[in-house]
Amino acid sequence: MTPTVTWANPSPITHGTPLSAIQLNATADVPGTFVYTPAAGTVLAAGAHRLRATFTPADTALYASATTSTRLVVDGSGMTPTVSWPAPTAVTQGTRSARRS
C-alpha cells in the first residue's frame, strides 16, 4: 500500500532564512521518516522553489515509499547589497595621484 503524504505550500520566507521544520513539515498517515531536498539549514536564492520530500514508512513490508513536493517562495524584496569602499590614504596637497589599471 502507498501511504497518504500531505504537504501544504508553506508561507513565503525572506531571503537569508534557512529552511527549517516550519517549511519542511510534510505528514504521513503511517509512522516513518522524511528526507527533504533541499535539506534543513539550506538558504535558497530569492524566487520560487520546488521542495521535495521522500517518505520511508517504518513498516516497509506493508507500505511503499512515497514522494511529494511543494512550492516555496523566497521573498527577495528588501535585499540591499553591501558596498564597502576603503578610505584612501592621505596625500599632501599638490601630489599627483597614481593611476591604477
Question: Domains in the chain, please, with CATH?
Answer: 5-75 (2.60.40)
* Percentage of the chain lying above the pLDDT 70 cut: 91
Q: What is the largest CA-CA distance in the chain?
A: 87
Q: Give the pLDDT confidence of 43-74 residue by residue, as tens digits.
A: 999 999 999 999 999 999 999 999 999 999 99
CA-based nearest residue to 16, from 43, 54, 35: 43
* Sequence-separated (6 or more) residues with CB below 8 Å from residue 77: none
How confident is the model at residue 101, as a pLDDT?
57
Determine the Cα–Cα distance for residues 56 and 86; give it in Å rounded to an integer.
54
Q: What's the one-letter identity of residue 81? A: P
| pLDDT-based confidence at residue 88 (cuts at 50, 70, 90) | confident
Amino acid identity of residue 68, one-letter, is: T
